[in-house]
Every structure is written in structure tokens, then in C-alpha cells.
Amino acid sequence: MTVKAFENAITVDMAFGGSTNTVLHLPAIANEAGIKLGLNKFNEISQRTPHICNMSPGGPYHLEDLNSSGGVSAIMKELSKKGLLNLGELTVTGQEIGENIKKAKSSDSDVIRPLNDPCQATGGLAILFGNLAPDGAVVKQSAVAEEMLVHQGPARVFNSEEGAVKAILDGKINKGEVIVIRYEGPRGGPGMREMLSPTSAVAGVGLDQDVALLTDGRFSGGTRGAAIGHISPEAARGGPLGIVQEGDIIKIDI
């Protein structure tokens, strides 16, 4: 494993609109290989990599559509047209990436968009920093409604996933509010549970284009909406998320 190999993985993920869990798994794998993979690397690659696959839950297409349209190799072939991949990296096939994707092609330009007509000009993920996340946070920007990319609203604060889900399903969350779920990080959870239930509940009650959700927990790949996770430092380690109070105004600018 090399730095360039990890850069390739991030690039494909950005083009594909992959899960926020990428920001957990790839640095962990890199660490085992003795490679430091910082959050700024994700933003750097996102800024130069167009999002070219509008996959569910942010878009209409599914993995079977991608597979029948040429698969990941076709995505990589498209990315290679503008030099976005390190084609000389060796792979498990015993060949370099450039050789592996030589014959790849996309059969459906709606599923795998050309680089000159992307879904979005930048990658599927964005790393955010701010006074609530001085060490960073992550959002799947490809699944955020355009009107929620910049948002300001009052905080609704919950110290557990269960408390937030109950409030959402009981109709106690209003349009424009910012749901804060804290003490769900690696130490606070403990274990950094996936906040799939609250994000699904928000979508289920029709608020996924009207409210934001902030957490020091993580998300499932099936999450959509302005869901910002991995807020660091987490509340259980004294992070500023722990001092947010009900009604505090929170500004988000993705």
C-alpha cells in the first residue's frame, strides 16, 4: 500500500459519492500500513474530483445500474481522462491500474457521467471545520439538498440517539431547526454508533430537506440530507458540542 494508492481510493470514492464511513476506514487502513492520511487530504482531492455518479440515496441510481453500465472500472477510466488517478500503482491483479482499466468503458452516460458534465463539480464528501468541530467533521455533500448547503437555525439538543428519534417521531422537530445528537462518539457511545435511525426518521417525516443534523456519531451509507457527523473532538472528550444549549443558533456552510 502506498500514499498514491490511498489517493486513488479517495478519488474514486469522491467521484462515486461514497459513504462518510470512508473517512473512518481509509485512515485506519493507512495507519496499519504506516501511512498518515489526514482529513485535509480528503478535501484536497474532493476539490479536484467531480462527482459523476448520482447514486442512491442522493440520486436515482443503484449499484446494479452502475454494474451494468461498466462498474467501478468505467468510473476509473473516466477519471483517468483528466489525469485524476495514479495509473502506475500496482494492484492485486499483479498489473498496474492503467492496464486494468485499459478496456473499460461506460455504456450509460446518465449513470456514469462524463467529466465535462458531472453531477457536481466537486466530490461527494466534504470535510468541515468550525467552532463546533475544530478538529473536523464530515458530510456527504452529494446527498444534501441545494437549499441546505448554507443553513442557519436553532439547536435542538439531545444527549442520545434514542432521545432524538423519539422527538422526531413525536413531531417535536420543526422546519429550520438543527438537531444536535451528542455523546455518541467512540468514547461517548461508547463505540460510535451509526445514526441511521434518526436520519431515517427525519426523512420519514419529510424533513430531510428542511432540517440539519449534527453529531459526534457516524452515519450509514444510506443517509441523506444535511447530516454532519464525526464532529471532533467528541462531547465526551470535552468537545465544544457538549456546551451547545437548546435554542442556540448554529450556522452551517457546506
User: Which residues are annotated as catalytic?
Assistant: 220
Coil, strand or helix at 95: coil
Taking Cα atoms as reference points, which of 156, 143, 109, 139 lies closest to residue 20? Answer: 139
Cα–Cα dist 215/9, whole Å: 26
Instruction: Compute the half-sphere exposure of residue 201: CA atoms within 13 Å on the CB side of its CA.
Output: 19
Identify the H or E element spanning 23. helix 22-32
Q: Which residues pair with 215 in a beta bridge?
A: 181
Distances in whole angstroms, Cα of residue 200 to Cα of each of 107, 206, 222, 224: 33, 10, 9, 8
* Cβ–Cβ < 8 Å for 236, 188: yes
DSSP state of 85: S
Residue 64 cell numbers, joined = 446494479
How many CB atoms sit inside 10 A of residue 154's CB? 14
CA 196 to chain CA centroid, Å, is 13
Cα gap 219→58, rounded to integer Å = 14
- For residue 145, count CB atoms less than 10 angstroms from its CB and return exposed for 0-12, middle for 13-18, buried for 19 or more: middle
Please choose, from the candidates 84, 113, 89, the residue with its C-alpha nearest in 3D space to the C-alpha of residue 3.
89
